[in-house]
Structure 1
Amino acid sequence: MTDQNIPSTRGAVDLSALAHQGSEATQSAPAAAASWTTNLDQGAFEQFVGMSQQVPAIVSLGSPRVQVSVDLDATLRKLVDAKGGKFILGLVDAETYPQIAQAFQAQQIPMVVALIKGQPVPLFQGPAAEEQIVQVFAQLEQLAVQQGMSGTAPAFSGEAQQGEPELPPLHQKAVDAIDAGDYAAAEAAYLEALNEKPNDKDAQIGVYQVRLLSRTHNLDLAKSRDKAAQNPDDIAAQLDVADLDVVGGHVEDAFGRLVSLISRLADEDRERVRRRLIELYAVIGNNDPRVAASRQKLARVLF
């Protein structure tokens, strides 16, 4: 799988020309359980693009004649449907409908792209392990929150099952605050949960995630990168770009930037950057292979 790059939607390919050729979406075969996965043809595309105004709309360009693509679609379907409407998934036979693949400038299949408010956000090409897709989806969900997208879409088929287990009250309070864009209130709720239960790992990760969203909410990517490039020893500038890279899916770039910065620092400055890096490790997931690789590099720098 290629790097899970989830860039800004600025300057993305305009899909409006293809979208306006359409009719209603073709629903996938009905199933007992609710499904947010649908088969797309050229005529179905308009409605699907329109739904990306409310929730991230994921497009899988593949072929039922390619086993890698079939396996990938099965994993995507499972993970998207488990989101209960936070994402939708459109499956495209790129050989039958090459116009859709061309609209995404696909060079190979399988290729997976998300649509955020009508604009494409490349996710990955080629096969992908389930745990890697989970990480990509987590980053995509953060991007959706930044874009003010916190609703759910109706299922394409089947009937909704009983909802996910209820969150603990303070966790639900934090999620509600995130949906409202009130990151300070969300952090306060997670911290209160930690005060009640110090070993609440989900609350601790929640704190780190909310802080990341809060720090990057008003940052301009181009300006931040330019400032960091011109001031390589400006710690705040380097931390800003690392945060933006994590939110944008450039995880290895973010980790590499901070490890390199730590190698040039000492004492309190070094510890400040190290703590930020540890927080970002937790956001991505300590079992992620990119975290493990970065930890080894960090250890070499520190010791």
Structure 2
Amino acid sequence: MIDVTIANFEAEVIEASMQTPVLVDFWAPWCGPCKVIGPILEKLETEYGGRFKLVKVDSDQEQQLAAAFGIRSIPTCVLLMNGQPVDGFMGALPEGQVRAFLDKHVPGEGELVAEAEEAAAQEALADGDTETALERLRQAVQADPENDDARFDLVKLLLELGEDDEAKVAFAPVIAKAAGVRRLDSLKRWMDARDAQAEVTEPEARMAALDTAIAANKRDFDARFARAQLLMAYGQWTAAMDELLEILMRDKSWNDELARKTYIAVLDVIEPPKPKVAEGQVPPEDPTVASYRRRLSSVVLS
């Protein structure tokens, strides 16, 4: 628990809330209900183990802050996340109601563990340590099975390492919702391409046959899509997108927009993790991804 004034409000509340939810308790020494809820808040801050930060503002001493938040009675608690108030309550609520309020917004223990493991995995990947990254991502998914970003990264890395069977096992818990979650759908399309490639006994001969079919009929979209899938399976991403663009330039709606959806899947798969940047800044975009996004927009909107 930290006492906040106008002097340290920016650092202790606004900036801190960019990383962790901050609960601001507006109180006064003469306020009886404040003395009731204060210990409850302090107890929960300890119990939640860093999942939120508690600060106290003496409304009598810091009238400017109280006015800025429109405080009309005390105690009043305001929760800030990412620099903005998101919720609050007035009065000395029972512990159970305060806990329920916090649980609506504060990340669970599993979520925090998953975020830490995910960050560690990305650091390991940056250092070229795929073994550590893989283990960290497994831990992230285990800690928070609902974390689709961690699961995406785990399945993606397994596929990159050629561990298709384990990738399918890791993907199985979310397969039912994949059609409604774009990045998961993108993984499914990549896995479908790899499964299609696995049935090809002579890849070079298959590619040559597809090239021949396309040369004979540039609108043989089945051949073009099969060629794009084969290229995806072997990680030849830009060549795969080039082939998909050939379909889009001739027929944007072919086969329920299969070419466009698969093109977007490739972009999702090849896009590297966004680096952390200072507030207000936009992280740089991968030049290949940016270029091929522009090409897609140009074709689709033409």
Normalised by the shorter chain, which TM-score bucket?
0.3 to 0.5
Find the structure with the greater CA-based Rg. 2
Larger proportion of helix: 2
TM-score normalised per structure 1: 0.39
TM-score normalised per structure 2: 0.39
The structure whose RCO (Cα within 8 Å, separation 6+) is larger is 1
